[in-house]
Structure 1
Amino acid sequence: MKRVFVILLLTSIVICCKNPKKDSIIQGKVENEQIAVVSKIPGKIIKIMVKEGDFVKKGDTLAILDIPEVDAKKSQAEGALISAKAQYTMAVKGATSNQILQLEAKKQGLKEQYEFAQKSIKRLSNMLKDSLVSQQTYDETFAKYQGAQAQYNAVIAELDDAKKGGRIEQQNMALGQQERAIGALEEVETANKERYIIAPQDMSIETITLNLGELALPGYTLFNGFISDGTYFRFTIPESKLNKIKKGQQITVSVPFTDKSIKGHVTTIKQLGAYGTIATAYPDYEMQESLFEVKIAPNNNSETKDLITKTTVTLSL
C-alpha cells in the first residue's frame, strides 16, 4: 500500500510539472498614461472648476488664479501705449490744424510784404538810374526787400515741415516707443491669460493638490490625471519567454475582474533597469535572467473605458 501511494505521489508531481498552462500564464497590470497640469506664474487659487474623478475636455478651465501684479502692470502698459501712440501721431502729423491755419495766415501776410518790397525795389531801381533817389535810399529799400524775401521763404519752409511732420529720425523714434509699448501690453495680456489653468487635452482628474486660497508657484503641479484613451497593459517578461513575443504582434489580454478578453498589439519591448518596476505579481523567472517590460495597447480604446488602473490582467504565452 505504501509503495502504491509513493507511485501516485510521484505521478502527480510529474503531471503538475508538465502542465504548460500554468507556466504560460503571465500577470500584468492595467496602466494609464499620466498627465500633470502646472501653473506658469505665481498666484492664489480663487476658484476650482472641477473635482476629483471628473472627466474634462481639452481647453476646459480647471482653476482660476488671482494675480494682482498682472492687473497693475496691465494698467501701466495700457497707459504707456496711449502715450506712445500720441507721440507717434504727433511726430507724423506735425502741427495741429490750428497751428497750420496760423502759419497759413502768417505766410499770406509775409507774401504781401515781400511782393510790396519787390515792387518797391523795381521802382527805385529805375529812379536810381535817373538819379531821382540816392544810393542810400535804394540800399535801405533793397535791404528791406531781402528781409521780406527771407521771412517769406522761412515761413514756407516752416509750413512745409508742419504739414509733413517731424524729422524721419523723430518719427522712427516715436514708432519704436509705440512698438515697445505694444510688446509690453501683449506680454502682460499673455501673463493675464495664465491666470486660467486650462486642460491641455482630454483627461480625467485624479488628484487636486491645492485648495482655495493656497498659493500656486510656477511649475507646481495643480492637477494630476490620466489621458483619455491612454490605457495600456504592462507585463514583465523573463528573457526565457522573450522569443514568444515581438513588437507589433496581435495578442489577447484577459481581465479577470471583468471576466472578458481584450485584443491588442505589442507596442514596446524594453529591458527593465530596476526590480521595483516589475508588473507581475508572482514573477516566475531565474535570478540570473534579464527582465523585459512589454506594453500592449488595445486595438479598441472603448473596450478599456471601464478598467481600473493597477488592476491585474493576464497574458497567455
Structure 2
Amino acid sequence: MKRFIPLFAFLMVLTGSCSLFQKAEKNVYVSGRIEGDEIDVGTKVPGRVTKIFVDEGDNVKKGETLAILDSKAVLARVEQAKAAFEAAQKAAQAKEQEVNAYKERLAALIDKRNSLKSQLDFQLKIAREKESMANKDVALAEEALKKAKAVYEKAEADYERFKKLYEKKIIPRSEFDKAVMAFKVAKADFESGKENLLKAKKAVKIAKAGVEIVKSKYSDIASLDNEIDALKATVKAKEKEYLAFLDRVNQAKAVVDEAEAHLSDTVIKAPVNGTITVKYVNVGEVIPAGFRLFSIVNMDKLYLKGFIPEKKVGLIHLKQPAYVEVDAYPGKKFPAYVSYIAQKAEFTPKEVQTKEERVKEVFGVKLKLKSNPDHVLKPGMPADGYIEIGK
C-alpha cells in the first residue's frame, strides 16, 4: 500500500506535466497588463475652469463638452475684433463706391470722346465731299468759259468783219444786225462764264475752309484723350487703394476668426469616443495654455502589452489569433490577435521580479482585444495572453 501511493502521485504529476507541455506547445504565453492608447485633452488658451461635466470613469462621445473655461476676456476680444472688422468693411465699401464713381466718370468721358470722334469723322467726310464737288464745279466752269471764250472771239471777229462790209455797202443792214446780236450774246455768255468760274473758285475756298474747320475740332479729341489718360491713372490709383482696404478687411477678418477660435477653445470637448481615466482639474482652478485637463482611453480598443522570449518570436506573426485571461474573471477567455511585434529585442523590463529574468532578451508584443463587453476590462489590469501557434 505504501508503494502504491507514491506511484500514483508520480503518475498524476507526470500527467499534469504532459498537459502543461501540450498547452505550451499549442500557445506562446505572454504576461503583462491591459493597456489602451491614452489621449490627453488639453487647452489652447489659459483661463479659469468654470464648469466640469464629467468625472473619472465616465464614458464620453466625440464632440461632447467636458469642461468650460471663463470666456469673458475672450468675448471682449471677439467683440472688439468684430467692431474693427465692420469698420474695415465700411471703409472698403466707401472706397469701392469712390472707385466706381471714377469709373463711371471715365466711361462717360470715353463715350463723349467716341461720340465726338464719330461726329467729326462724319462732318469731315461731308466737308471733303463738298470740297470735291466744288473742285469739279471749277473744272466744269473752266471748260464752259473756254468754250464761251472761243464763241466770243469768233463773234467778235465776225462783228468786225460784218461792220466793214456794212460800211462799204456790201451787205445789208439785217445781216450786220445779226452779227451785232451774235456778238452781244457771245460777250454776255463769256462774261457770265468768267463770273461762274469766280463763284466756283470761291466755293472751293469755302469748302476747303470747312474741311480745315472740322480738322481743327479734332484737337478737342486730343484734349479728351489727355483727360481720359489722366482719369485712367486716377482710377488705377484708386483701385490700388481699394485693394489695400480689402487687405485690411481680410486682416480684420483673420483677427475675428482667431478670436472666435480662442472663444471656441474655452469649450473643452472630447476628441474621441472613450472613457475618462484621469481628471486633472477642478472647478475654480486657473490653468495655463497647454495644460492637460483629462485623459481619455477608448475602452473598446484595449490590448495586452507584454513580452515574449527571443527564442519564441519566430512562432508568432501579425494577425495571429490569441486570447487573454485576467484574474478578475477566472476561466473567461477574451478573444484577441497579435497587433504588434517589436522589431528589436530588449532586456526584460525592470518591473520583472527576478534578477535572472531581467537579464534575458525579449520582444515586446501587443495582443489587441477584439471586444470588451460591458467594459469589464480596465487599463492597468494584470493579464495573461496565449498566442495560438499554427493559426
Q: Please, what TM-score do these two structures have when normalized by structure 2? A: 0.55
Change (3 A) 1:302 1:308: closer
Structure number with the higher strand fraction is 1
1:181 alignment partner, one of 252, 256, 272: 252
Change (3 A) 1:28 1:265: same
1:44 alignment partner, one of 43, 48, 54: 48
Query: 1:196 maps to which residue?
Result: 267
2:339 alignment partner, one of 247, 263, 267: 267
Query: 2:376 maps to which residue?
Result: 306
Question: Aligned partners of 1:67, 1:277: CA distance in 2, in Å?
Answer: 47
Size of the aligned set, in residue pairs, is 253
Q: For structure 1, list consecutive stretches of 5 or more residues without a partner in the other structure.
A: 101-148
- Report if the CA contact (8 A) 1:84-1:178 is conserved: yes
Q: What letter matches 2:375 in structure 1? A: K
Change (3 A) 1:295 1:174: same
Output aligned runs, 1:130-141, within 5 Å: none
The answer to which of 34-43 and 262-271 deviates more is 262-271
Change (3 A) 1:302 1:217: same
Structure number with the higher helix fraction is 2
- Report if the CA contact (8 A) 1:43-1:65 is conserved: yes
- Work out whether 1:77 is the aligned partner of 2:148: no
Question: Aligned partners of 2:355, 2:365: CA distance in 1, in Å?
Answer: 16
Q: Equivalent residue of 1:218, what SS? A: coil
Q: Equivalent residue of 2:44, what SS? A: coil
Q: What letter matches 1:189 in structure 2? A: E
Give me the CA root mean square deviation. Answer: 3.9
Change (3 A) 1:273 1:192: farther
Query: 2:243 maps to which residue?
Result: 172
Output aligned runs, 1:56-95, within 5 Å: 56-94=60-98
Question: Aligned partners of 2:261, 2:243: CA distance in 1, in Å?
Answer: 27
1:217 alignment partner, one of 288, 307, 324: 288
Q: For structure 2, list consecutive stretches of 5 or more residues without a partner in the other structure.
A: 105-219
Query: How far apart are residue 296 of structure 1 and its match?
Result: 0.6
Question: Aligned partners of 1:304, 1:238: CA distance in 2, in Å?
Answer: 33
Change (3 A) 1:304 1:251: farther
Question: Aligned partners of 1:290, 1:86: CA distance in 2, in Å?
Answer: 72
Q: What letter matches 2:85 in structure 1? A: L
Q: What letter matches 1:241 in structure 2? A: K
Larger radius of gyration: 2
Q: Equivalent residue of 2:259, what SS? A: helix
- Report if the CA contact (8 A) 1:70-1:192 is conserved: yes
Q: Equivalent residue of 2:333, what SS? A: strand
Identical counterparts, % of pairs: 25
Query: How far apart are residue 303 of structure 1 and its match?
Result: 3.7
Q: Equivalent residue of 2:379, what SS? A: coil
Q: Please, what TM-score do these two structures have when normalized by structure 1? A: 0.66
Query: 2:131 maps to which residue?
Result: none
